Amino acid sequence: MNYTAHPTAVIDEGCEIGEGTKIWHFSHIMPNCKIGKACNIGQNVVVSPGVVLGNNVKVQNNVSIYTGVTCDDDVFLGPSCVFTNVVNPRSAIVRKSQYAATHVGKGATIGANATIVCGHNIGAYAFIGAGAVVTKDVPAYALLVGNPARQTGWMSEYGHKLKFDSNGRAVCPESNEVYLLKEGKVARA
């Protein structure tokens, strides 16, 4: 075993867990999921069958990651955020064949208590504010807040709101990396 798991964690057979990953109290890692290297799975987390988490994914306490979700490297999932996997769930109707995929791009942040409605992609380095309810695709570097979530700006890879000049150029105040806004999309220069 090349990962660490608290004795109260339940890890089902058929999981792939990367080196250096830590799984904390009362978490349940279900069959056939893949968790990358150096991940941190907080307390009381559910990782459902077939979920894929890249390397260095940080999952805070009380997060539910349901079948159909994939997260690239360096994703941050804030406390008590949740992903759905069926658009119209009913207790008496089985819809396992209708699970909708959700992809979270590299370096994205999902804030505390945010809900990600299934079937949408969240772009690389996007930042979903606490309590937001995401009901549509999210562009790379976008900042979304509210219910339903709406875009209020752009974020740097270091997590700072970007202020673009009249030429569509912004500089991250922490990293000094330059970003360009062109035709409604942001990219590093």
Do 92 and 170 lie in one domain? The reply is no
C-alpha to C-alpha distance for 125 and 168, rounded to whole angstroms:
18
Domain that holds residue 120: 4-155
Neighbours of 44 (CB within 10 A): 17
Same-domain check for residues 168 and 150: no
Shared-domain flag, residues 137 and 189: no
Positive or negative CA dihedral for 152, 157, 159, 161?
negative
Same domain, 134 and 181: no
- How many other C-beta atoms are found inside a 10 Å radius of the C-beta of residue 30? 19
Same domain assignment for residues 128 and 183: no
Split into its structural domains, the chain has a count of 2
Q: Which domain CATH number covers 59?
A: 2.160.10.10
For 105-124, the pLDDT digits (tens) are 999 999 999 999 999 999 99
Angle at 184 between CA 183 and CA 189, to 5 degrees: 75
Same domain membership, residue 165 and residue 108: no
Model confidence, pTM: 0.96
One domain, residues 183 and 95? no
Q: Are residues 113 and 36 in the same domain?
A: yes
Whether 140 and 169 share a structural domain: no
What are the tens digits of pLDDT across the range 61-81? Answer: 999 999 999 999 999 999 999
Q: What is the pLDDT of residues 170-189, one digit of tens each?
A: 999 999 999 999 999 999 99
3-state SS, residue 98: helix
- Per DSSP, helices labelled H in the chain are none
Looking up tokens 């208590």 gives 113
Q: Are 53 and 37 in contact (CB under 8 A)?
A: no
